[in-house]
A and B are shown apart, each in its own frame.
Chain A
Amino acid sequence: MGTRIAAATKPILRARLRSTPANGHVSFVPQIRKLVFEYCEKWPSSANTRTYLLQHVENLAKANPHVEVVVLQRNMREPIVRGFYLNDRDKVISLKESEVNQIQQKVQLLLDSSGAKIKSLKRRPVESTTEATRGIWSGFHTAEPFKI
C-alpha cells in the first residue's frame, strides 16, 4: 500500500548471471551431428551417388567419428544429402546429376558448416559479447567541461 523504496544498490537480475555461449573459446564442439544420404536404386540421376556411396562413404564416416552417417534408400526420388546440426536446423543439398568429386565438395560443405542461417558476413568482422576494454567515452567526464 505504501510507496516502494528503491534499493540502495543496483539489483542483480538473474539473466545477467547466465554464461554466454562461446564454442571454440576453451573447447570446440563440432556442430554437425548427422549426415543422411538418400538415393534411388534404379534411376540414372542417382548413378554417381551410388558410386560415391559404394566407394567413399565408409572412409568419410571413419574420418569424421563425431558424425552419424545414415544411408537411406528412397526409390523413385532424386538423390539428396541432408545435414543435421546441433541448433536443430538442417541443410539439404540435391546431388542430382553431380559428379563424384562434386558430391565430395558438397559433403565437405555440410561438414564445415555450423548450421546457422546464411546471412551477409561483409559488414562486421568481429562479433563480441565482452564489454569495451578501454571503457566508453563520456562527454560529462572529461577534464575540461565544454563551455558554450
Chain B
Amino acid sequence: MASLLKLSSARQLAARALSTQAVAAPPSTSSALSLIRSQPSQYVVAAIAGKKYLLAPKDLLTVPRLNDVRVGDILSLSEIHELGSREYTLRGAPLIPQEAVRVQATVVEHTKGKMEVIVKKKKRKGYTRTIKHKQPYTRLRIGSIEVEGAEL
C-alpha cells in the first residue's frame, strides 16, 4: 500500500495536472488576442444595465426590461470587462476597447415574470394589503464573439 502511494513521479504529476505551466505575458495586445482567438471557444464578461454577466455565444440572457428597444433590435455590448478562453484571459482596465472585441445581442422578447402576491399585514390593527406584481424583463440572445486580429 505504502509503495503504491510513493510511486507518483514528476511526469505523472504533470500528466495529472490539467492546467498548463505559466508562460510569460505576451508582448502586445494583438498577440494576446491572437492567443485567445486560437483556442476553440471564448467567453466574455460584459456589463448590461449595471450588472456583470459571464456570456458565451448563443446564450439567452434575461435582464430587467429595457424600454428603449424593440423586439428584433440588435444591440452592441459596450462594456466588456474581460475576454477569456480555456487557458488565457484578457482583463480590461477597466474595459476592453471596442476595436479589440465586439459582441452583439439580439432582443428576443419582452416578457413578464410569474405573478407575485405580496401580503402586508399588521396584527390586531385591521391592516391588510395585497399587492400583485409581475416583474417585466427583456431577453437577449448573445451573438458571436468577434476578436480583432488577422485571420490565419
Contact = CB atoms under 8 A, between A and B. Distances in A.
Interface of A: 20, 22-26, 28, 30-31, 109, 111-114, 116, 118-122, 124-131, 133-135, 138, 140-145
Interface string B102-144: 0000111111111100000000000000000011010111111
Interface of B: 8, 13, 16-19, 41-43, 51, 53-63, 71-72, 84-86, 106-115, 134-135, 137, 139-144
Contact of B86 (A30, A129, A135, A141): A135
Contacts of A126: 53-55, 59-62
Contacts of B58: 20, 22, 25, 128-130
A127 B111 contact: no
9 contacts: A23-B108, A25-B58, A28-B108, A113-B110, A114-B108, A121-B137, A124-B62, A126-B53, A130-B59
Nearest to B14: A143
Nearest to B40: A133
Contact of B71 (A112, A118, A133, A135): A112
A31 B71 CA distance: 10
B86 A134 contact: yes
Nearest to A108: B110
B41 A24 contact: no
A88 B43 CA distance: 34
Nearest to B43: A133
Contacts of B85: 133-134
B108 A24 contact: yes
A136 B134 CA distance: 36
A72 B21 CA distance: 70
Contacts of A118: 111-115, 134
Nearest to B19: A143
Nearest to A130: B56
Contact of B111 (A114, A134, A143): A114
B108 A125 contact: no
Contacts of A24: 106-108, 140-141
A128 B111 contact: no
A120 B113 contact: yes
A138 B62 contact: no
A147 to B, nearest CB: 9
Contacts of A144: 13
Contacts of A140: 16
Contact of B56 (A121, A122, A128, A135): A128
